[in-house]
């Protein structure tokens, strides 16, 4: 039993670390996302949209792929952490676990929709259909992921000034 508890703590510590590391490429992917999509020509609204540079698209795609990969490893450590029989989830961990139902599908769907959007743009088409939901799915995923981090840390009582 103690070995099981030790294994569980180890796996959840790795899960926590990887989860926080995943935030870095996630935020970076969001920041560079603006440069990876076509923009309307403000000088001539009737002209075709300005296509994004391939470097910006590649960077956004690479950061998205890194996020999804790290997320996969993060999830793996949460899933493999041994369950303790007879213990029902209680407290902040419940919301943390429930939010998986939003950000896990989001992490799978976002790169798929991004890939679809990119192929449509490469084909000279305006992004349409389900691919146009890429950014909305991405933002929902980012929101759920952030909420998941806050939920597991809740309640927070900052006492950095108390050195006693």
Partner 1 sequence: MKFAVALLLAVSPLAAPAQNQWVLVKSTLTWHITHPMHEVDGASHDAKGKGNCTADGCDFLIAVPVNTFNSGDSNRDLHMLQTVRGAQFPMVIVRTHLPQSAIGSPTIDADLEIQFAGQTVHYSRVPLQRITKGTAIEITGTVPATCSDFKIDRPSFLTVPIRNEIPVTVDATWRPM
Residues in contact with partner 1 by CB under 8 A are 1-2, 4-6, 8-9, 12, 20, 84, 87-93, 152-153, 155-160, 162
Q: Give yes or no for a contact between 22 and 71, defined as CB atoms under 8 angstroms apart.
A: yes
In the complex with partner 1, the residue whose CB is nearer, 17 or 54, is 17
Give the chain's end-to-end CA distance (angstroms, integer).
36
Residues 19 and 13: their CA atoms lie apart, in Å, by 10
In the complex with partner 1, the residue whose CB is nearer, 42 or 88, is 88
Least gap, CB of 97 to partner 1 (angstroms): 9
Least gap, CB of 148 to partner 1 (angstroms): 13
Least gap, CB of 159 to partner 1 (angstroms): 6
- CB neighbour list of residue 18: distance below 8 Å, 6 or more residues apart: 70, 73, 74, 77
């Amino acid at each position: 039993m103690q070995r099981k508890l030790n294994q569980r703590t180890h796996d959840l510590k790795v899960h926590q670390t990887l989860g926080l590391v995943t935030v870095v490429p996630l935020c970076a992917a969001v920041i560079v996302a603006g440069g990876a999509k076509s923009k309307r020509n403000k000088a001539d609204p009737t002209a075709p949209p300005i296509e994004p540079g391939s470097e910006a698209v590649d960077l956004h795609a690479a950061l998205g792929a890194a996020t999804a990969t790290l997320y996969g490893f993060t999830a793996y450590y949460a899933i493999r952490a041994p369950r303790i029989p007879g213990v029902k989830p209680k407290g902040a961990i419940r919301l943390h676990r429930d939010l998986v139902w939003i950000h896990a599908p989001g992490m799978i769907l976002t790169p798929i929709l991004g890939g679809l959007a990119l192929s449509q743009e490469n084909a000279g088409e305006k992004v349409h259909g389900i691919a146009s939901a890429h950014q909305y799915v991405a933002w929902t995923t980012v929101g759920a992921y952030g909420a998941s981090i806050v939920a597991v840390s809740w309640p927070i009582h900052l006492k950095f000034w108390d050195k006693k």
